[in-house]
Amino acid sequence: MLNVQGLHLWRGDRHVLRNVSFSVEPGRCALLTGRNGAGKTTLLRAIAGLLEPEEGAVTWRGAPARATRDAFHAETVYLGHEPPLKGDLTGRENLGFSVGIRRAVTAAEIDAALTRTGAREFADRQVRTLSAGQRRRIALAGVLLAEATLWLLDEPTTNLDADGQQLVAELAADHLAKQGLIVAAVHHSLPLPADRVVGIELAA
Amino acid sequence: MKTPALSVAVLVARRDLRLAFRKPSQLLQPLLFFLIVATLFPLTLTPELSRLRDAAPGVLWVGALLSSLLALEFLFREDAQDGTLEQFALSGQSLTWMLFAKTCTHWLLTGVPLALAAPLAAGALGVPTAAMPGLIAALLLGSFAMSLTGAISAGLTLGARRGGVLLSLLSLPLAVPILVFGADATQRAIAGDDFAAPMYLLGAIAVLGITLAPLAAAAAVRIGLE
Amino acid sequence: MNWVWFHRFGSPPWVYGFARRWAPWIGAAAAIAMGIALYGGLVLAPPDYQQKDAFRIVYVHAPSAMLSLAIYSTMAVAAAVGLIWRMKVAHAAAAACAPIGAWFTVATLGTGMLWGKPMWGTYWAWDPRLTSELVLLFLYLGYMGLRAAIEDPVKADKASALLAIVGIVNVPIIKYSVNWWNSLHQPATRLIGEADMGKGMVWPLLLMFLAFTLYFAAVFLVRLRAELLRRERTASWIREALT
């Protein structure tokens, strides 16, 4: 369903992505591994449509993702290094906005998602008073609430304790079980059923 | 079901209003700047009100422009830095529409207070009370146009080093028509003449801005997010 | 329509070769045209009835003014082509145009000021055309400033392209507003750039327009080569091209 073909991307003079090709089917997860600077974040951003590759194409459901951009984005959720949250708003208010602009969401749904990611107790404090791990838990609730088919995750376990890392693995597994797709950049592998994982190693 | 466009605009406006009221100093600074600039001119020119009145349209409009340049810093920069602007671009909704909503909210928070506070500065520059409604109307329209064109420059300088100074340089040529017509409208209002003609032209620029500026700003933001 | 030539213009090596071959010839043609035109304008043409010999500055002023605007338009078109069809050469062309256009604007302002002294008795009198030229200079400087301030070259290309397009849409609006402003405050004084042209005065002027355009083309091609070299320095065709 997600097809990346012959992707080449330069950042300035650096040839960051060289002929990257892979595909992901429903229920599968592509794990991007590689050293720092290998281009994992660049690849995720290129798939998300934030970066334009010089050559190659990303296709979603058979159509070029660029051409059907809004429809593609409606089915995709991207979680970068830094959870995108406004410091002056509470976690709940942040989610109300970031999910609300995608689909109508009720307070009960937000509550349920926050409970699932263990963020409910600090959801009504301003985000700038929260630790990095707490922010990530709120961001993960946002990923759940987006009800997206494709998850693009850049190092989703950053700043999380052992419980949190377990949580990410569970959420990922649930999503795959519902025939969702995941492309995740990780430093250490995610504990997922091996038959659902495609490993992509990026060379620096 | 995808959120309808009007709700998206309301959500954006509500978010920005909420954020603004939690950090009100950000709003007050451009306004104070405008009032201070208006004070500097008498100090450097003359205390004679009759002579200040001649310079008033220029002082008020240049002051309004400088103030709006300061305020433009708050339009996109913070959102770009904490990653939330990216979420706008990835939401599957029209970025053009969302940025238009953002710009309008920004104008409500910066341009409107400036227009309403302008009589204070104008009175100090010898502008007669009868001219105040005309002044406010012209500044409302002009500041709206400045916010729209400023959104383009703000989007373009997102990826630039020392974007703030560059923002001013880019915005100045685009602001020339607004300044010319706005100052003319104010001048005519002070003289007690009919100021409809320059107001219509200001209006025309604002309409052109509404149709084209958000598109250009969205394109600029997408380039800046790369 | 034959699209082959269009695609050729998209190929950096081809354009580089084209520029290298043609720049000297165009430069020579420019020099010749300028020589003839200057002789015609400075020596052959009779002095103006009112301005005497001062009007002769029109032979440099008018072409500079025309080019400053024409180059901005060219820049905007090249930038749009680069943005829409994603052609690297088009972006390089836009970047090459900018400094040339800026200098022509400075030349227009400078010659305008020199003309102003005998015309009005002062170097600067807020003439509407000169004022528009001044704003045009700010547009050029803004474009070059934006390019310089963005590190990533692709981003710089795209952002400055967008700025050029926004600028070109604004140029007529700015001109209109400056004319409006001028008509409010000053009665119709003699505008810079006006000279009642007798027969012997016109042909050198037209030839100068041509000469300046050829000059621009020659300098542009040289700058374009330099731009392409800089942008494609890691590409393989460079080594061949430089030998």
Q: Which residues contact C170 (CB under 8 A, 6 or more apart)?
A: B173, B174, B177, C139
- B99-to-A160, B92, B219, C196 alpha-carbon distances in Å: 34, 14, 11, 52
As a whole number of angstroms, the distance between CA B13 and CA B134 comes to 28
Mean pLDDT of B105-128: 94
The string of pLDDT tens digits covering residues A124-158 is 999 999 999 999 999 999 999 999 999 999 999 88
- C189-to-C47, C119, C126, C192 alpha-carbon distances in Å: 21, 10, 11, 9
Domain extent at residue B34: 5-224
As a whole number of angstroms, the distance between CA A153 and CA A183 comes to 6
Rounded CA Rg of chain C: 20
B87 contacts A48? CB cut-off 8 A? no
Residue B224 dihedral angles phi and psi, to the nearest 5°: -65, -25
Q: Which residues of chain A have pLDDT under 50?
A: none
A12 contacts C153? CB cut-off 8 A? yes
**Which pLDDT score, from 0 to 100, does residue B12 have?**
96
DSSP 8-state secondary structure symbol assigned to residue A161:
-
Comparing CB atoms, the residue among C146, C170, C180 nearest residue B174 is C170
With an 8 Å Cβ cutoff, the interface of chain A facing chain B consists of: 48-52, 70-78, 80, 82-89, 93, 97-98, 100-104
Say what the pTM is: 0.91
Q: State which amino acid sits at residue B69.
A: L
Contacts for B193-197 with beta carbons within 8 Å, 24 or more apart?
A: B195/B134, B195/B138
**Which pLDDT score, from 0 to 100, does residue C190 have?**
58
Q: Which residues of chain C have pLDDT under 70?
A: 1-3, 5-6, 186-199, 243
**Which pLDDT score, from 0 to 100, does residue B117 have?**
94
User: In chain C, what residues touch B57 (CB-CB under 8 Å)?
Assistant: none
User: In chain C, what residues touch A10 (CB-CB under 8 Å)?
Assistant: 154
Q: Which residues 105-144 of chain C have a CB within 8 Å of chain B?
A: 135-136, 138-139, 141-142
Per the DSSP assignment, residues forming a β-bridge with A63 are: A60
With an 8 Å Cβ cutoff, the interface of chain B facing chain A consists of: 1-3, 7-8, 11-12, 14-15, 18-19, 22-23, 82-84, 86-94, 98, 225-226
Mean pLDDT of B5-29: 93
The string of pLDDT tens digits covering residues B139-157 is 999 999 999 999 999 999 9
Angle between helices A91-100 and A132-145 (to 10 degrees): 30
In angstroms, the separation between the Cα of residue C82 and the nearest Cα of chain A is 13
User: In chain B, what residues touch C149 (CB-CB under 8 Å)?
Assistant: 157, 160-163, 166
As a whole number of angstroms, the distance between CA B151 and CA B89 comes to 16
User: In chain C, what residues touch A12 (CB-CB under 8 Å)?
Assistant: 151-153
| Contact predicate B21/B104, CB 8 Å | no
Displacement of CA C42 from its chain's centroid (Å): 23
As a whole number of angstroms, the distance between CA C178 and CA B183 comes to 12
The string of pLDDT tens digits covering residues B157-203 is 987 877 778 988 899 999 999 999 999 999 999 999 999 999 999 99
DSSP 8-state secondary structure symbol assigned to residue A18:
E
As a whole number of angstroms, the distance between CA C146 and CA B173 comes to 14
C178 touches chain B (CB under 8 A): yes
Q: What is the mean pLDDT of chain B?
A: 92
The string of pLDDT tens digits covering residues B118-137 is 999 999 999 999 999 999 99
pLDDT bucket at B49, cuts 50 / 70 / 90:
confident
Mutate to test the interface with C, among A10, A45, A50, A55 (most CBs of C within 10 A): A10
Torsion of CA B59, B61, B67, B71, to 10 degrees: 180
Name all chains with 3 or more CB-CB pairs below 8 Å to chain B.
Answer: A, C
Q: What residue ranges do the domains of chain C occupy? A: 21-242
Q: CA C78, A51, A187: angle at the middle one, nearest 5?
A: 155
Comparing CB atoms, the residue among C135, C163, C170 nearest residue B156 is C163
Residue (of A53, A89, A97, A58) closest to A76 by Cα position: A58
In angstroms, the separation between the Cα of residue C94 and the nearest Cα of chain B is 17
What is the number of structural domains in chain B?
1
B91 contacts A73? CB cut-off 8 A? yes
**Which pLDDT score, from 0 to 100, does residue A51 have?**
92
pLDDT bucket at B15, cuts 50 / 70 / 90:
very high
| Contact predicate A196/A43, CB 8 Å | no
Angle between helices C88-120 and C58-85 (to 10 degrees): 160
As a whole number of angstroms, the distance between CA B154 and CA B10 comes to 22
Sign of CA dihedral B45, B48, B51, B55: positive
A10 contacts C152? CB cut-off 8 A? no
Q: How many CA atoms lie within 13 A of C235 on its CB side?
A: 14
